[in-house]
Amino acid sequence: MHIPDNYLSPSTCAVLGAAMVPVWATAGKKVKEELPKAKMPMLGIGAAFSFLIMMFNIPLPGGSTGHAVGGTLLAILLGPYSACISLTVTLLIQALLFGDGGILAYGANCFNMAFVLPFLGYSIYRFIKDRIHSEKGEKLGIVLGSYLGINAAAFFAAVEFGIQPLLFRDSTGQPLYCPYPLSVSIPAMTIPHLIITGIVEAVFTLFIYIFIKKVSPGTIYQGEKQKTKAIYGFIMGFIFLTPLGLLATGTAWGEWNIHELKTILSGGNTSGFIPKGMANGFDFKSLLPDYSISGLPEITGYILSAVIGAAFCIILYKVISSLIKNKSSKEDL
């Protein structure tokens, strides 16, 4: 799943790298809080562990072998934040010193394998573990978490590949980077992960976990119960999916401006007229017209607009929730 250089455009790499900066900052801060100084070397040794886990070949039906990534395993054993840092370091060593995965694509690889994989895998594991309080529930959480975690990472890699031909073409229309669209890249990446790699990952994770739990149960990370901050997750997800919005060439249904309205098809013919009230009506000039900021390329403008929009949503959400909190605390008094 390591994306090499030159398959993704430099701007995609930059966007994904920039997306990792807050993740790394949060992870660094959390690790400092969670991990006593005496356990700091654990990060490096955890990275060495995750590097070596990828060296273990596991037999597959049909005689071939495959290897696991161990992202969810690390998150379960060390906690998701430490796992994020350990995997980041592992990926850096692989890219810089072993030539495995690109230097420019490093941000993208980190996004898929050091962010999506451990955090999603761990959230699913905790979600199930916190609800089914038995050993079976825990095992189910491990299997589902590791299976879905690696598949989500593969899916994200596929989307990154798939948006290349749609966003980056030269003047003759030839794709500049990965030439396969989403319709090819998604099945090509996800099917092998759904039927082979995912199963390898789940089985290996479960076996190692059972072993460690039997031998030395005290070493496993004891995270606090998860608070669902799904809203942040959703917002983040949408920011990254916004470039997809560029792919739909038309304007969203019902969001036509008056000139577009004239060319709208009705029953096979263009409507050819502008409703009177609209023609002379109020024309709202927004701060970020058409989600693009003048002087910037369209994609950058689009993503910036998305980030600004998302930031605005979060601010609004926080303001409203603090107002509600204040109100309820006053009522309590």
Partner 1 sequence: MLDFHNEYVTMPDWLMKNENYTPLSDKDSFINKSIFSLLKVLTKIRMQSSYAEERNLVNVNFRVFFTFALIVLLSLSRNPVFVLIVITYLLLVCAFMPTIKMIQILRFSILAALFACIILLPAYLGGNAYSFIMIPSKVFATVMAVSILSSSARWDSIISELKRFYLPNILIFVLDITIKYIVMLGEFSLNMLYALKLRSVGKNRSKYSSLSGVAGTMFLKSREMSEEMYCAMECRGFTGEYHVYKKFNIRLADFFYILINVGIVFSFIIFG
The residue ranges that bind partner 1 (CB under 8 A) are: 4-7, 9-10, 13, 28, 37-49, 51-53, 55-59, 63, 65, 77, 85-86, 89-90, 92-93, 95-99, 102-104, 170, 174-180, 204, 207-208, 210-212, 215-216, 219
Nearest distance from C-beta of residue 59 to partner 1, angstroms? 4
Q: How far apart, in Å, are the Cα atoms of 302 and each of 19, 167, 197?
A: 15, 12, 35
Beta bridge partners of 66: 58
Residue closer to partner 1 by CB (options 49, 256) is 49
Closest Cα to residue 197, out of 155, 138, 237, 135?
155
By beta-carbon proximity to partner 1, the closer residue of 85 and 199 is: 85
User: Smaller CB distance to partner 1: residue 39 or 139?
Assistant: 39
Shortest Cβ 157–partner 1 spacing (Å) = 13
How far apart are CB 179 and partner 1 at their closest, in Å? 4
Shortest Cβ distance from residue 200 to partner 1 (Å)?
Answer: 11
Closer CB to partner 1, residue 65 or residue 257? 65
The nearer residue to partner 1, 95 or 303, going by C-beta atoms, is 95
> Distance (Å, rounded) from C-alpha 253 to C-alpha 104?
37
Separation between Cα atoms, residue 73 and residue 62, nearest integer Å: 26
Instruction: List the one residue out of 93, 117, 107 whose CA is nearest residue 197.
Output: 117
For the bound state, the minimum distance from the C-beta of residue 137 to partner 1, rounded and expressed in Å, comes to 21
Q: Is 25 exposed, middle or buried (0-12, 13-18, 19+ CB in 10 A)?
A: exposed
DSSP 169: B
Q: Minimum distance from CB of 328 to partner 1 (Å)? A: 41
Bridge partners, 58 (sequence order) = 66
Nearer to partner 1, 163 or 306 (CB): 163
Q: How far apart are CA 251 and CA 113, in angstroms?
A: 34
